[in-house]
């Protein structure tokens, strides 16, 4: 998510960050990863609001509406720890009559609705963690271990930032 933000705004941006469920491991790790990644450029990237939307689209809508009202201006970006909250943020932007793409919204999970929003220009980027690939890799490794006694070794599947430029690379957008 940080890489997508830095690519879109290399000179800096004012942004809203939407957190997942407070205390959940994935919410903590996604936020930590994002903030660690922008730490070296923290003077360029100003967090104007940070709030939980509990992984939920309706909460993403409500929280974003409240933040936009309290700010009194549009941020450059909204970074969301998952796509559902990002899609809620997009609904909030629509209710404020903000044109598609005017505020760069970045999500995570590359779910089908998010890929559609990327295609339609509402979502700047979503991060595809390649969950299907992770499962296949793990099953292949376990099968090789059980059948052939092949040692288990770590495998890293790098996440992929999906934008309009590579929309067909989204794992959930492909038919197998």
Per-residue pLDDT 10s for the chain (176 aa) are: 999 999 999 999 999 999 999 999 989 999 999 999 999 888 899 999 999 999 999 999 999 999 999 998 999 999 999 999 999 999 999 999 999 989 999 999 999 999 999 999 999 999 998 656 556 757 766 777 788 888 888 777 788 899 999 887 665 554 43
First vs last C-alpha separation in the chain: 26
Fold of 2-128: Rossmann fold (3.40.50)
What is the reported pTM? 0.84
DSSP 8-state assignment for residue 84: H
Question: CA-based angle 18:157:160, to the nearest 5?
Answer: 50
**Cβ-contact 106, 86 below 8 angstroms:** yes
- pLDDT reported for residue 25: 92
> How far apart are the C-alpha atoms of 12 and 116, rounded to whole Å?
27
For the chain, the domains span 2-128, 130-159
Strand, coil or helix: 111: coil
- pLDDT reported for residue 119: 95
CA dihedral 108, 34, 17, 48 (to 10 degrees): -150
> How far apart are the C-alpha atoms of 84 and 110, rounded to whole Å?
10
User: In degrees rounded to 5, what are phi and psi of residue 75?
Assistant: -75, 170
Strand, coil or helix: 162: strand
What is the number of alpha carbons within 13 Å of residue 9 lying toward its C-beta? 26
């Amino acid at each position: 998510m940080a890489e997508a933000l830095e690519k879109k705004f290399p000179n800096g941006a004012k942004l809203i960050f939407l957190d997942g469920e407070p205390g959940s491991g994935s919410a903590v790790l996604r936020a930590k990863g994002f903030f660690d990644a922008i730490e070296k450029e923290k003077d360029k990237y100003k967090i104007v609001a940070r709030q939980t939307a509990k992984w939920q689209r309706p909460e993403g809508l409500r929280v974003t509406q409240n933040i936009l009202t309290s700010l009194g201006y549009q941020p450059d970006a909204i970074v969301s720890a998952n796509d559902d909250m990002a899609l809620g943020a997009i609904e909030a932007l629509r209710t404020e009559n903000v044109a598609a793409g005017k505020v760069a919204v970045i999500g995570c999970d590359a779910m089908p609705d998010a890929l559609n929003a990327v295609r339609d220009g509402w979502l700047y980027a979503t991060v595809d963690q390649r969950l299907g690939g992770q499962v296949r890799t793990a099953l292949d490794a376990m099968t090789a271990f059980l059948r052939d006694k092949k040692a288990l070794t770590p495998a890293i599947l790098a996440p992929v930032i999906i934008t309009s430029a590579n929309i067909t690379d989204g794992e959930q957008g492909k038919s197998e």
